[in-house]
Amino acid sequence: MLMQNRKVIILGSGPAGCTAALYVARAMMSPLVIQGIQPGGQLTIASEIENYPGFIDPVKGTWLMQQMEIQATNYGAEVVMDHIVKVFLDEYPFKLIGDGGTTYSCSALIICTGAQARWLGLPSEEKFKGYGVSACATCDGFFFRDKEVVVVGGGNTAVEEALFLTNFAKRVTLIHRRDELKAENVLQDRLFKNKAINVVWNTVIDEIKGYNEPRQVTHVVLHNVKTEVSYELAADGVFVAIGHSPATDLFKGQLDMRNDGYIHTHPNSTTTSIPGVFAAGDVTDNVFRQAITSAGMGCMAALEAERWLSA
C-alpha cells in the first residue's frame, strides 16, 4: 500500500488549509495538503466574493481558491486529491488513511476540514442554490438590495441574518417551524422591534419556485404545520439558516470537541487536546465563519506547528 510520510500534513484545501500550506511551505517544511472531496472548500460554491481584502472588484470563489493554492505550491507545498477516512491520533507519528487505501504519516497535523451549512433538503433548494438560495447573508445579502427575502430558522444565526439583511432588502420574512424562537432574548428583542422584519410562525417551506432562464427565485410555497394551510409568498432570495455541521466525524473520540461538535482549541491558539495536532478555520469556529478569519487561523496553525516541531 502506498505510504506518504511528511513532517506536516494539512487536511483540507479551503482558505484555512491553503494559508497554513503557504506558511508551512515558506518555513521550508514541504507540507502535504490533502484536498478532500471539495478542492478549494466552501468558497468554490460562492458566486462572487466581495469581502476578501485586497481585491477591489468582486472575484469568483473558484478563482480566489486557485490563486491561494498556486501561491502555496509555488513555495513548495504539495497538494494531493484524496479524502481521509480514518485517523490514528493515538499513534506517533500520526497516521491517516485515504479512501483509496494510501497511508499518510506526519509529525504535525493541521486540521482544516471546515463545516457545511445544513440545508432543508428540497430538490428546488438544490436547483436555486447560488441563484437566490444562500446560507450566508454576510456573503450574499448585498445582492438583494431593495428586494424581498425570506430567512428560514429560529436560532441566533437566523435572527442575526434577518437583522443584517434589513440593511439591503426592502422586506425580510423570518420563517420558523415552531411558535417560539431559539435565539437569545437580546436578539429576539432586536428582531421584534425591527419594522422591516415579519415573522411567520409554525411554518415550513415546501418548495422554492422561480424562472429557469435566467435561473432566479420568485416565490416560496409555505405550509403552516398547525393549520395545514399552504400558500405562496413572493421572494427574490431564500436564506437558509438552520445551523452548520463541522466536518469533525473523523476525530470523534480522539480530540476534545465542544458540545456543538466543533473541535476545541485553546484560547488564542489553534492547539487542540493532542500536542502536535492543530485545528483552524470553520472546523473550530461557529461564530465568524468567514474566509478571512479561516485564513488567519490557518496562518496561526502553521506558525504554532512550526514552533512545536522545532521545540
Q: Would you please indicate which residues are annotated as catalytic (active-site) residues?
A: 136, 139-140
74: left (phi over 0), alpha (psi -120 to 50) or beta: alpha
Q: Write down the least CB distance from residue 221 to ligand FAD, Å.
A: 23
Buried b (16+ CB within 10 A) or exposed e, 234-272: ebbbbbbbbbbebbbebbeebbebeeebbbebeeeebbb
Specify the residue, 95 or 190, whose C-beta has the smaller distance to ligand NAP. Answer: 190
- What is the footprint of ligand NAP within residues 157-196 (CB under 6 A)? 157-158, 160, 177-178, 182
Contact yes or no for 143/116 (Cβ under 8 A): no
Q: Which of residues 6-35 bind ligand NAP (CB under 6 A)?
A: none
* Cβ(17)–Cβ(110) below 8 Å: yes
149: left (phi over 0), alpha (psi -120 to 50) or beta: beta
Residues in the interface with ligand NAP (CB under 6 A) total: 19
Choose between 26 and 182: whose C-beta lies nearer to ligand NAP.
182
- Among 39, 76, 93, 155, the residue binding ligand NAP under the rule CB under 6 A is 155
Q: At 11, give phi and psi (nearest 5°).
A: -100, 110
Q: Does the protein bind ligand NAP through residue 221 (CB under 6 A)?
A: no
Q: Where along the sequence are the contacts to ligand FAD (CB under 6 A)?
A: 11-17, 34-39, 41-43, 45-46, 49, 51, 83-84, 112-115, 117, 134-136, 139, 247, 250, 281-283, 289-292, 294
Q: Binding ligand NAP by CB under 6 A: which of 286, 292, 296, 303? A: 286
DSSP string, 107-168: EEEEE---EEE-----HHHHHHBTTTEES-HHHHGGGGTT-EEEEE--SHHHHHHHHHHTTT
Residue 222 vs 280, nearer CB to ligand FAD: 280
Q: What is the CA radius of gyration of the chain?
A: 21
From CA 250, how far away is CA 253, in angstroms rounded? 9
Residue 126 in contact with ligand NAP, rule: CB under 6 A:
no
Toward ligand FAD, which CB reaches closer, 162 or 191?
A: 162
Could you say which residues in the range 54-113 bind ligand NAP, by CB under 6 A?
Answer: none
Binds 160: which of ligand NAP, ligand FAD, none (CB < 5-8 Å by kind): ligand NAP
Report the residue number, 99 or 184, with the smaller CB distance to ligand NAP.
Answer: 184
Residue 135 interacts with, from ligand NAP, ligand FAD, none (CB under 5-8 Å by kind):
ligand FAD
Q: Which does 182 bind (CB under 5 to 8 A by kind): ligand NAP, ligand FAD, none?
A: ligand NAP
7 contacts which partner out of ligand NAP, ligand FAD, none, CB within 5 to 8 A by kind? none
In the complex with ligand NAP, the residue whose CB is nearer, 66 or 198, is 198
The separation between CA 181 and the C-alpha centre of its own chain, rounded to angstroms, equals 23
Residues within the interface to ligand NAP (CB under 6 A): 120, 152-158, 160, 177-178, 182, 204, 242-244, 260, 286-287
